[in-house]
């Protein structure tokens, strides 16, 4: 409601409640996408390894500030606490984007500063509290452009539409982002689909299968919300068989694909005992469904 820009890191473990507090899971995907009191836009990003965790955290901060929405980075115990090696991060590629931020020490706009001003893309310019000539006023109630509480039905509708306008701009922005990644040959016996920390075991399983003459490719969905429907659709249309690999009971990614693309996957390989996938066991499970 206040259109601030939090970046939240959700590191999953098995539940409900305390569950297995020192083990791993991928059971919070739907929670991250849908949990709310009321409706608002957000972005949900699932890095799959150390390098992606670094780079996508920067992306999350930029998107959160540019669109003044919450950005959630969804990880898990396995990814967060594993040891691994990585190439030094290329910090020259880091760019900071604060969005519509008034950086001058004095506000010189026409009329009184409006923290929640109606704009074409729904994003209102931000003034840092303390900026001369700008009173930054906002609260958790519905409010008008100046930040004063309102219960007016027409204004309530208009303000809700304002916040959701950001989704159009966000979707356009994400066209330039690597919202999905694809590994392996274009033509294969099956396409494996996954998100998050299953990336490592899946890529190792691909090597094992390759040595046995079985070709598979891998679609990693990095941005889960907004869902990159067009990119996923193009890849799945050319797949012989589709196999979702997830660390949860209900195959949340499968349900998300069904919801967004109105299609179902052929097979699901699910593991929800608190342990990550083992590449050898995973390759055997893939062979069993081919």
Buried b (16+ CB within 10 A) or exposed e, 181-211: eeebeeebbbbbbbbbbbbbbbbbbbebbee
| 130-166 pLDDT tens trace | 899 999 999 999 999 999 999 999 999 999 999 999 9
Average pLDDT score, the chain = 96
| 202-259 pLDDT tens trace | 999 999 999 999 999 999 999 999 999 999 999 999 999 999 999 999 999 999 999 9
Q: What gap in Å lies between CA 218 and CA 208, rounded to an integer? A: 14
- DSSP 8-class letter at 149: B
Q: What pLDDT shows up at residue 225?
A: 98
Report the pLDDT averaged over residues 110-117.
94
Report the pLDDT averaged over residues 118-140.
94
- Rg of the chain, C-alpha, whole Å: 22
Phi, psi of 60 (to 5 degrees): -60, -45
| 29-45 pLDDT tens trace | 999 999 999 999 999 99
* Helix (H), strand (E) at residue 207: helix 199-211
Q: What pLDDT shows up at residue 3?
A: 97
Q: What gap in Å lies between CA 290 and CA 285, rounded to an integer? A: 9
Torsion of CA 245, 250, 252, 255, to 10 degrees: 110
Q: What pLDDT shows up at residue 84?
A: 86
3-class DSSP state of 9: strand
Structure tokens at 264: 């179902």
Count CB atoms within 10 A of the CB of residue 248: 19
Sheet holding 223-225, edge to edge: 7-12, 71-76, 43-45, 223-225
Placement of tokens 């090696």 in the chain: 85
Residue closest to 174 by CA, chosen among 89, 60, 51: 60
Which domains, ranges and CATH numbers included, belong to the chain? 7-93 (3.40.50.970), 101-157 (no CATH), 180-289 (3.40.50.920)
Torsion 95-98-99-103 (CA) sign: negative
Torsion of CA 79, 81, 82, 85, to 10 degrees: 90
According to DSSP, the residues that pair with 73 across neighbouring strands are: 9, 45
Structure tokens at 243: 């196999």
How long is the chain?
290
279 has a pLDDT exceeding 90: yes
Structure tokens at 289: 């469904």
3-class SS letters over 221-234: ECEEECCCHHHHHH
Question: Under a CB-based contact definition with an 8 Å cutoff, are residues 127 and 113 in contact?
Answer: yes
91 has a pLDDT exceeding 90: no
275 has a pLDDT exceeding 90: yes
């Amino acid at each position: 409601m206040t259109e601030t820009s939090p970046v939240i890191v959700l590191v999953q473990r098995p539940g409900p409640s305390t569950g297995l507090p020192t083990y791993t899971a991928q059971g919070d995907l739907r929670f991250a996408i849908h949990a709310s009191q009321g409706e608002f836009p957000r972005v949900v990003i699932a890095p799959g390894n150390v390098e992606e965790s670094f780079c996508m955290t920067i992306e999350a901060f930029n998107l959160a500030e540019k669109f003044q929405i919450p950005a959630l980075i969804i990880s898990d115990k396995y990814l967060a606490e594993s040891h691994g090696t990585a190439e030094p991060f290329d910090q020259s590629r880091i760019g900071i984007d604060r969005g519509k931020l008034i950086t001058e020490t004095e506000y010189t706009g026409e009329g009184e500063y409006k923290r929640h001003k109606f704009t074409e893309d729904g994003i209102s310019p931000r003034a840092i509290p303390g900026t001369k000539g700008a009173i930054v006023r906002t609260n958790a109630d519905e409010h008008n452009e100046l930040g004063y509480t309102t219960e007016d039905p027409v204004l309530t509708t208009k303000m809700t539409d304002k916040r959701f306008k950001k989704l159009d701009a966000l979707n356009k922005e994400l066209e330039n982002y690597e919202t999905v990644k694809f590994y392996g040959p274009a033509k294969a016996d099956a396409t494996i689909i996954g998100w998050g920390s299953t990336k490592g075991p899946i890529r190792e399983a691909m090597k094992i299968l390759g040595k046995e003459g079985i070709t598979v490719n891998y679609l990693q969905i990095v941005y889960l919300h907004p869902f990159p429907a067009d990119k996923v659709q193009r890849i799945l249309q050319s797949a012989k068989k589709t196999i979702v690999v997830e660390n949860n009971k209900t195959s949340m990614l499968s349900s998300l694909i069904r919801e967004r693309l109105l299609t179902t996957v052929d097979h699901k390989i699910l593991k929800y005992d608190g342990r990550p996938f083992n590449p050898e066991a995973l390759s055997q499970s893939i062979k069993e469904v081919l």
